[in-house]
Structure 1
Amino acid sequence: MSKLSIKAYTTDYKSRWDRFVASLNGIYKGSKNTSFLFHRDFMEYHQDRFEDHSLLIFKDEKVVAVLPANKVGDTVYSHQGLTYGGLVLEAEIRLKEVLEIFEAVLNFLWQSGINILEIKVLPQFYQELPGDEIDYLLFLTKATLVKAETASVIDYRNRIPLNSSRKSTFNQAQKAGLQIQKTKDFEPFWKQILEPNLEARHHAEPTHSLEEITFLAERFKYNIHQFNVLDKKGKICAGATIFETRPVAHVQYISASPQGRKQGALDLLFRYLIEEKYVDKWYFDFGTSNEQAGLKLNNGLQFWKETFGARTRVQRTYRVSTENAHYLKDVVL
């Protein structure tokens, strides 16, 4: 009879971990709900900020799931340094096996002195195969919903037309002679647009420093892309940073100068990204428009995204007590 075993991640497992999550680029048919964010090189760019507590789940000697995670006190998060997390599962795994794996993970954490597991669930539209097993198991283990954020998403298989207001500002940008540039140089956008705007509006900094985003883009050149908008004189006036997975183009950063906003630079850029560059994707994800852990909605930002045809999907974060593993004991008839 096959037996599950769980190992805490160490660098000795790096190659096995990365092979398992690498199906994103068609390199290896490992996991069905993967992302380049789960690659160890991405997870560890900010390892000084987090105490890693990632797990590998084996069936006999084969990796069947991994849990990207970090630890704070008696709580494990999957993962505070990532946009989403949860169990990354083998492509052909079945529900009963996932139930057994989740039960084993909760028991392992409980026996290790961890009382709470918090998971920011990977949204279904990021998954290449149906993969809502974890949602069902969180229900069974009486998990608590602690955060709900609204992502604005375009479904390319069921498009909503561009709003007429976007067409007029697009024409305005064209008349102003604005040009779109794809570049490997993140510095102009970071230093001239993004950082000044975040500081002025929110007294905040980007999640990734210029050094970090440059480092990551060098290692994930097929996934991280920078698009800028230049005025007639070649000066940057807007830009967007895209994180690309196989099914989704996700807007990680977006910002414009006062001149760029006035001339419709972002309308020009996003019409290109949506209708030309990423038209072969399944989804275009503008990201969330929430503040205060989802309790507040930035309506102006939400409305702007919706005028491109985006509509709402919800990204949920749950907390489950690890002692609740026993609720999974007698589920299967």
Structure 2
Amino acid sequence: MDYHKERFQDYSLMVFKKNKLVSILPANIVANKLYSHQGLSYGGLIFLNKSSFQVCLGSFYAILEFLFKQKIITLFLKQLPKIYCIRPSDELDYLFYNLKAESYRKDVSMAIQLNNDFEFSTLRKRQLKKALQNDLKVKLDTDLTSFWNDILTPNLNAKHHTDPTHSISEISVLRDKFPNNIKQYNVYLENELYAGCTVFETKKVAHLQYISTKKDRNIGALDFLVNHLITSIYKEKEYFDFGISNENEGRSINEGLLNWKQSFGASAVVHDFYKIETKNYSLLKNIMI
């Protein structure tokens, strides 16, 4: 998170049991409110693999008690989407119920479960057929500059009057730190760049962080690229995550964007946000009987 540390007042927490680190909470503070780190796409309370229910309970109790004593009134917690968990891990969902937590936001992401049956829509199949008539090539590029400056940023400026969340310098720093987890795939026709995507990889998931194409000529470059990623590059992953289609802090969905993702066979994965009053930490005290 260091690349944008000046934008946030970090207040990340670590929980120890007998000097062993058992959980972490990436977070930032605003006045007397603590947030799952607002500079991260995903967050939440992260546990060691194979942590017991009791460790999860004890960690959350310790965090809320600590925050209450520090006069931090409210914790805004964004759950890690379930497709990213190494194994089922719904302990916090149960604890939210006991804490009388408020579900204040839900984002809708679209993902393909790659080890299950999925099918492209008729339109996607038609676009892919068009793409295959061209001599398109997918390349793994180490330099993100051309995609960022020539396609992604101009498209976002023109359509949404905004820039990418990451500047070219920021994404380059991140990619250099995590070369095995951040990949740039570009599509070329006769050495001319037509489309590209930036993929964030985890053990189970390939997440499509950025994707964009030239608008002046429809040769099916995006369809060709997504098809190649799904059926070749990431076919051994469990999920291919297209990311969210929300606007207005989760209350609205960009239907055109949603339909495009659904047309590849993707279905909904919800990202949950909870508001927790730290004074309620004592409600976790007598769960075990």
- Scaled by the length of structure 1, the TM-score of the pair is 0.85
**1:151–1:288 Cα contact (<8 Å) kept:** yes
Is 1:63 the equivalent of 2:13? Answer: no
1:177 is displaced (CA, Å) by 2.2
Name the aligned partner's letter for residue 199 of structure 1. N
The one of 34, 37, 44 equivalent to 1:86 is 44
The one of 105, 113, 120 equivalent to 2:71 is 113
Q: 2:159 corresponds to which residue?
A: 201
1:120 is displaced (CA, Å) by 1.1
Is 1:239 the equivalent of 2:190? Answer: no
The one of 231, 239, 242 equivalent to 1:283 is 239
**2:49–2:86 Cα contact (<8 Å) kept:** no
Is 1:139 the equivalent of 2:97? Answer: yes
Task: Show structure 1 runs of 4+ deviating over 3 A.
Answer: none
1:159 is displaced (CA, Å) by 2.3
Is 1:172 the equivalent of 2:130? Answer: yes
Q: In structure 1, the residue corresponding to 2:271 is in which secondary structure?
A: strand
Q: 2:229 corresponds to which residue?
A: 273
Q: In structure 2, the residue corresponding to 1:93 is in which secondary structure?
A: coil
Partners in 1 of 2:161 and 2:103 — Cα distance? 29
**1:118–1:318 Cα contact (<8 Å) kept:** yes
Name the aligned partner's letter for residue 102 of structure 1. F
Partners in 2 of 1:143 and 1:247 — Cα distance? 29
1:187 is displaced (CA, Å) by 0.5
Is 1:253 the equivalent of 2:210? Answer: yes
1:162 is displaced (CA, Å) by 2.0
How many residues align structurally?
Answer: 289
Identity of aligned residues (%): 42
Name the aligned partner's letter for residue 15 of structure 2. I
Name the aligned partner's letter for residue 266 of structure 2. A
Q: 2:111 corresponds to which residue?
A: 153
Q: 1:307 corresponds to which residue?
A: 263
Q: Which string of whole-angstrom CA distances, capped at 9 and with x for unpartnered residues, describes residues 43-68 of structure 1?
A: 22111111110111111111111111
Is 1:323 the equivalent of 2:279? Answer: yes
Partners in 2 of 1:105 and 1:206 — Cα distance? 34
- Scaled by the length of structure 2, the TM-score of the pair is 0.97
Is 1:186 the equivalent of 2:144? Answer: yes
Deviates more, 1:200-209 or 1:163-172: 163-172
1:164 is displaced (CA, Å) by 2.7
Partners in 1 of 2:258 and 2:165 — Cα distance? 21
Q: Which string of whole-angstrom CA distances, capped at 9 and with x for unpartnered residues, describes residues 147-185 of structure 1?
A: 111110101221212223212211211223222121011
Q: Which runs of 5+ in 1 are unaligned?
A: 1-42
The Cα RMSD (Å) is 1.1
**1:193–1:257 Cα contact (<8 Å) kept:** yes
**1:237–1:259 Cα contact (<8 Å) kept:** no
Partners in 2 of 1:281 and 1:308 — Cα distance? 16
**2:43–2:78 Cα contact (<8 Å) kept:** yes
Name the aligned partner's letter for residue 330 of structure 1. N
Name the aligned partner's letter for residue 285 of structure 1. D
Name the aligned partner's letter for residue 165 of structure 1. L
Is 1:229 the equivalent of 2:173? Answer: no
Q: Which string of whole-angstrom CA distances, capped at 9 and with x for unpartnered residues, describes residues 68-112 of structure 1?
A: 111111111111011111111122211122112111100101111
Name the aligned partner's letter for residue 208 of structure 2. V
Partners in 1 of 2:276 and 2:197 — Cα distance? 36
Q: Which string of whole-angstrom CA distances, capped at 9 and with x for unpartnered residues, describes residues 230-282 of structure 1?
A: 123x221211100000000000001111135x111100000000011000001
**1:155–1:284 Cα contact (<8 Å) kept:** yes
